[in-house]
Each structure stands twice: as structure tokens, then as C-alpha cells.
A = this chain, B = another copy of it.
Amino acid sequence: MDEGGRKEEILRAAQTIFSQYGYHQATIRLIADQAQCATGTFYLYFVSKQDCFLALVEKLYIHVMEQIMRARAGVGNPAEKLKRSLEAAVEVFRRDYELAQVILVRGAGADPLFEERMWRVREAFSEFMVNDLVECGVKRETAVIGAHGWVGALVEIVGVWIRDGQALDLAKATHEIQRIFWMAWGLNDFRSVD
């Protein structure tokens, strides 16, 4: 249980620092101080700053995906699956402000490698949604656009929520976004799903 304990500690520190300072403003020194270790220790667990950032992002993505998977588990109705997936994702962001900061705000200009990674994750997530939508009877071509739009809409809403200092009612806003996309595909039993 203590195995990997130190690495976890540093990752947690990195999350705090990256979320606060962004990738470039963050320094190894800052992370090491936050983790209460020496800068040299940092390099026992990570090859480089970039490696650490990618590891962190990976971990956070996995966490998000796990929550989504858990939310989908045992649900048969595709509309319900879709709904629960999105709610789970937003819930993760809502619960962990730093995580949301790192993934949605700080990552963007960070590094080509990160952008590539983030891009693949969003793509993967969209693919999930597309499949659910197709199962719901939406044409694949339309579903692809819709899924991306939906993701974008939610990311923007979470972004507003973050920048506004969490003043926005995130649950209500998420729900409204859901309604919008739901209606667009004539999923008439929106209410029943809800």
C-alpha cells in the first residue's frame, strides 16, 4: 500500500501546482516543495516535467473514465447510458476543482504531446457518445457532430463555472445542455429518461 506512495504524493502535489500555475509557470521546485521532497527526488519518479504532467493527466483521465464506466455499468438503455456518462463526467469535475483546472484549462497550451493526448481522449469519449446516440437511432454522421458539440458545450460550461469561481449552478446548467441536445434528436421521452 505504501508502494508507489511517494509517486502518488508527488502527483498530488503536481496536480495542485499545475492547476494553480499552469504548465509553464509551474516549476519542479514548486512541485517538490509542495510534495515536501527535494527536486532530485522528483526525478526518481519522473523522467521529466513533461513526463510528470502526462502521468498526471493520464491519471486524471483514467479517473474520469472509471467514473463514467461505473455510471454505465449494468445500464441497458442507450439514452440512459449517455445521460449517466455525461453526468458522471461533470460530477468528477465538480468534485475536484483542481482536476478540472488541469484537464480543461491548464493543459491547452502546455505542450504538443499533451495536446495530442487530450485530443485522443476527447475523441475516445466522443466515440462512446456516438455509439450511444446511434443506438438511440441517430444517424452516425449526425451523431459525430453532435457528440463533439455536446462535449464542447459541457467543457465551456465547466470552464465558465471554474472562471466564475464556481458561482454557476453546474447541475442545472448541465441539465439544460442535456435537454438541448436531447430535443435536437427528437428523443421524445426525454422526461422519462430524466
Q: Tell me whether A154 and B157 are in contact (CB under 8 A).
A: no
A156-B151 contact in complex given A107-B109, A109-B108, A142-B176, C-beta closer than 8 Å: yes
Chain B residues with CB under 8 A of A105:
108-109, 115
- Chain B, Cβ-Cβ closest to A183: B184
Q: Tell me whether A176 and B146 are in contact (CB under 8 A).
A: yes
Copies in the complex: 4
Identify which of B24, B112, B146, B153 contacts A149 (C-beta below 8 A).
Answer: B153
A145 within 8 A of B: yes
Q: Mark A66-101, 1 if CB is under 8 A from B, else 0.
A: 000000000000000000000000000000000000
A148 within 8 A of B: yes
Q: Tell me whether A157 and B163 are in contact (CB under 8 A).
A: no
CA distance A107 to B109 in the complex (A): 7
- Chain B, Cβ-Cβ closest to A104: B108
Chain B residues with CB under 8 A of A160:
148
A110 within 8 A of B: yes
Q: Which residues A120-151 have CB closer than 8 A to chain B?
A: 142, 145-146, 148-151
- Chain B, Cβ-Cβ closest to A181: B180
A177 within 8 A of B: yes
Identify which of B106, B155, B177 contacts A109 (C-beta below 8 A).
Answer: B106
Q: Tell me whether A150 and B148 are in contact (CB under 8 A).
A: no
A193 within 8 A of B: no
Sample of 11 further A-B pairs with CB below 8 A, known A105-B108, A148-B160, A152-B155: A23-B109, A105-B109, A107-B109, A149-B180, A150-B153, A152-B154, A152-B157, A152-B159, A153-B156, A179-B184, A183-B184
Give residues in A with beta carbon < 8 Å to B: 22-25, 105-110, 112, 115, 119, 142, 145-146, 148-157, 159-160, 163, 172-173, 176-177, 179-181, 183-184
